[in-house]
Structure 1
Amino acid sequence: MDLAEERISSMEDVLNTEKSKLEEATKRITFLSRKLDDLENRLRRSNLRVVNLPEKVENPDAVAFLEKWLCETLGRSIFPTPPIIERAHRLPGRQNTDRPRVMIMKFLNFQDVVRVMRTARQKGRVMYGDQEIKFFPDLSAEVLRQRRRFNDIKQRLRSLNLRYGIVYPAKLRVTVNGQTREFENPSDAEKFLQGIQNTGEL
């Protein structure tokens, strides 16, 4: 009996050791994944996604087209001289769909990214012909996944005409009656919204 107990105890020690190693390896993988994702987003920092720009309007030189179009559309007061775009391309995909492929442009100067986003937001609508053009940061798949968690609550906020925004990397910022709150997960935002609806603060 003593020998059996000794063997069981020894096996438990081995299992506990292996469990600790697995937990440590899992933590390490999580840490490295976050570092890799952070690096990817830093590399994308000077990129912008252009959504709904009609196909082929940029031909034959996408960079030259975008530099000129941004000046004309956003205004010479914003870009007295054309911004320097290092490269631009459409995302791969079929061209025979009703929706144009997304265009990605990489700026030399990050401040030009800020100017484009800020000016587009202030204008409300940026048009190319009869098409409304949207600009978005070029984020990693993981950050986009985290942001999509807030899609349902954002729809409710829009229906209530409440101001909101997404703070990098994936926090929801909500402004109600002049007061701003930030949420890292949708459940907290849901509780907050439910609370102010119940108390009649809206």
Structure 2
Amino acid sequence: MEDVVNTEKSKLEEATKRITFLSRKLDDLENRSRRSNLRVVNLPEKVENPDAVAFLEKWLCETLGRSIFPTPPIIERAHRLPGRQNTDRPRVMIMKFLNFQDVVRVMRAARQKGRVMYGDQEIKFFPDLSAEVLRQRRRFDDIKQRLRSLNLRYGIVYPAKLRVTVNGQTREFEDPWDAEKFLQGIQNTDEL
């Protein structure tokens, strides 16, 4: 009887390892398929009508500068995420670029510009990531808020590492608990 239990336990452990491996592989493939996508947050509703692709190609050139895009980037398709239209916030728009380099140029230009505006709305650009990676990144939300309040420089490195720079020293954290301990240590020693 004990042999049967051990055999079944071994099979279960093996199956669990396989499921974990396949889940990670699936998530990686999903993120690779999204790498030419960008999420546009806060773009007012219906400004893109009737042709979202044409609107975005023109708007990106005008807003980010012709020096970045001497010719308009080629956007294969663009759409808003489904959602409630009766909220105060506009739905997120996703654009799929033909060339990944255009994604990089948009992100770099937006970062250099500082604030990208459409009318009085500040527009933000984010990579289009899988739900699992977004979940992993959300674990750092509380710490990021505290870092902002302390005017500390930080960023998220793919897939979900928090990078913090203090006094020219850069540290990376995969676990929010480690980042929390680091932040408490900084606050306790008044290095700020």
TM over 0.5: yes
- Could you tell me how far 1:94 is from its partner in structure 2? 2.3
TM-score normalised by L of structure 2: 0.98
Task: State the Cα deviation string for residues 162-195 of structure 1 (Å, max 9, x = none).
Answer: 0000000000000000010000010110111111
- Could you tell me how far 1:118 is from its partner in structure 2? 1.1
What SS does the aligned partner of 1:154 have? helix
Larger radius of gyration: 1
Distance (Å, rounded) in 2 between the aligned partners of 1:192 and 1:156? 12
Aligned alpha-carbon RMSD (Å): 0.8
Residue 70 of structure 1: aligned partner: 60
Q: Could you tell me which of 125, 145, 150 is aligned with 2:140? A: 150
Q: Which runs of 5+ in 2 are unaligned?
A: none
What SS does the aligned partner of 1:87 have? strand
Q: 1:35 and 2:25 equivalent? A: yes
Task: State the Cα deviation string for residues 132-163 of structure 1 (Å, max 9, x = none).
Answer: 11111100000000000000110110111000
Distance (Å, rounded) in 1 between the aligned partners of 2:123 and 2:145? 21
Q: Which segment is superposed worse, 120-129 or 31-40?
A: 120-129
Q: Which runs of 5+ in 1 are unaligned?
A: 1-10
What SS does the aligned partner of 2:19 have? helix
Between the two proteins, what is the percent identity of the paired residues? Answer: 96
What SS does the aligned partner of 1:193 have? helix
What SS does the aligned partner of 2:68 have? coil
Distance (Å, rounded) in 2 between the aligned partners of 1:196 and 1:83? 44
Distance (Å, rounded) in 2 between the aligned partners of 1:35 and 1:97? 36
What SS does the aligned partner of 1:165 have? strand
Residue 83 of structure 2: aligned partner: 93
Distance (Å, rounded) in 1 between the aligned partners of 2:45 and 2:189? 49
TM-score normalised by L of structure 1: 0.93
